[in-house]
Chain A
Amino acid sequence: MVFKMHVYKIALLGNKDHGKSTTIGSLLMLTKSISEARIEEAKRISNELNRPFEPGFLLDSFSEEREDAMTIDTTRAQIQYKGKGFEFIDVPGHEELIKNMLSGAAYADFALAIVSAAPNEGISNQTKRHIFIANLIGINKIIVAVNKMDAVNYDENRFNEIKKEITDYLIKIGVKNRDIKFIPISAYKGDNLVEKSSNMNWYNEDPLIDLLHKTSSKKKKTNNKIFSAIIQGNITTEKGELIAGKVISGAVNLNDTVVIEPDDIESKVEILYVAGKEKEKAKAGNEIALKLDKDINVEGRVLCSRNEEIKSMRSLNVRAFFVDVPKEDKLKIKINNNEVYGLTKIIDSIDTSSGNHFSDNKIRALEAADLDINLDKPVAAAKFNSIPELGKLLFYEEGKFIGIGIII
Chain B
Amino acid sequence: MIKQNLNELESKSIYIIREAKKKFKNVAALWSMGKDSTTMLALARKAFLGKVPFPVIHIDNGIDFPETYAFREELTKKWNLDLIVAKSEIKPELSGFSCCGANKTEALKKLMSEYNFDALIVSIRRDEHGIRAKERVFSPRDQDFKWDYKNQPEEIWDNYTSKLDKKGHIRIHPLLDWNEIDIWTYIKKEKIPINPLYLSRNGYRYRSLGCTHCTVPIKSDAKNINDIIKELETTDTEERAGREQDKEKEYVMQKLRSLGYM
Contact = CB atoms under 8 A, between A and B. Distances in A.
Interface of A: 1, 3-7, 35-38, 41, 45, 48, 59, 61-64, 66, 72-76, 78-80, 85, 99-100, 102-103, 106, 232-233, 235-239, 242, 244, 246, 273, 275-277, 285-287, 289, 334, 392, 394, 399, 401, 404
Contacts of B21: 235
A273 B189 contact: no
B11 A246 contact: yes
B37 to A, nearest CB: 18
B11 A85 contact: no
A338 to B, nearest CB: 11
A285 B11 contact: yes
22 contacts: A3-B5, A3-B7, A35-B237, A41-B250, A45-B250, A59-B130, A61-B129, A61-B133, A62-B149, A63-B250, A72-B150, A73-B134, A79-B2, A106-B155, A238-B49, A275-B7, A287-B11, A289-B49, A334-B159, A401-B153, A401-B156, A404-B156
A394 B5 contact: no
A102 B46 CA distance: 31
Interface residues of B, number: 53
B7 A103 contact: no
Contacts of B126: 76
Contacts of A41: 250
Nearest to A404: B156
A41 to B, nearest CB: 7
A56 to B, nearest CB: 13
Contact of B48 (A37, A103, A235, A246): A235
Given A106-B155, A242-B49, 18 more contacts: A3-B3, A3-B6, A35-B237, A41-B250, A62-B134, A72-B134, A72-B150, A73-B149, A75-B130, A102-B156, A103-B152, A232-B15, A235-B21, A235-B47, A235-B48, A237-B50, A244-B18, A287-B15
Interface string B156-188: 110100010000000000000001000001000
Nearest to B49: A237
Q: What DSSP secondary structure best describes chain A's contact surface? A: mixed
B236 interface: yes
A399 B154 CA distance: 12
B2 A80 contact: yes
Contacts, number: 144
Given A3-B3, A236-B53, A287-B15, A276 B46 contact: yes
A237 B48 contact: yes
Nearest to B186: A3
Given A103-B156, A236-B53, A244-B18, A62 B4 contact: no
B6 A276 contact: no
Given A45-B250, A275-B46, A289-B49, A61 B238 contact: no
Interface string B179-207: 10000010001000000000000000000
Contacts of B3: 3, 5
A80 B46 CA distance: 30
Contacts of B19: 232
A275 B14 contact: yes
A287 B254 CA distance: 33
Contacts of A75: 130, 133-134
- Most A Cβ at <10 Å: residue of B4, B133, B157, B189: B157
Nearest to A6: B5
B4 A85 contact: yes
B157 A62 contact: no
Given A37-B236, A37-B241, A237-B50, A275 B5 contact: no
B58 interface: no
3 tightest Cβ-Cβ pairs between the two chains A and B: A238-B50, A61-B130, A276-B46
Contacts of A3: 3-7, 185, 189
B131 interface: yes
Interface string B122-156: 00001101110110100000000000011011111
Contact of A233 (B10, B22, B238, B251): B22
Contact of A4 (B5, B53, B241): B5
B51 interface: yes
A6 B238 contact: no
A37 B240 CA distance: 11
A402 to B, nearest CB: 10
Contacts of A239: 49-50
Contact of B15 (A76, A80, A99, A246): A246
B256 to A, nearest CB: 12
Nearest to B238: A37
A287 B44 CA distance: 13
Interface string B1-35: 01111111011001100110110000000000000
B4 A5 contact: yes
Contact of A394 (B46, B134, B156, B185): B156
B232 to A, nearest CB: 11
Contacts of B163: 399
B164 to A, nearest CB: 11
Contact of B18 (A38, A64, A100, A235): A235
B152 A100 contact: yes
B45 interface: yes
Most buried by A among B130, B136, B149, B235: B130
A238 B48 contact: yes
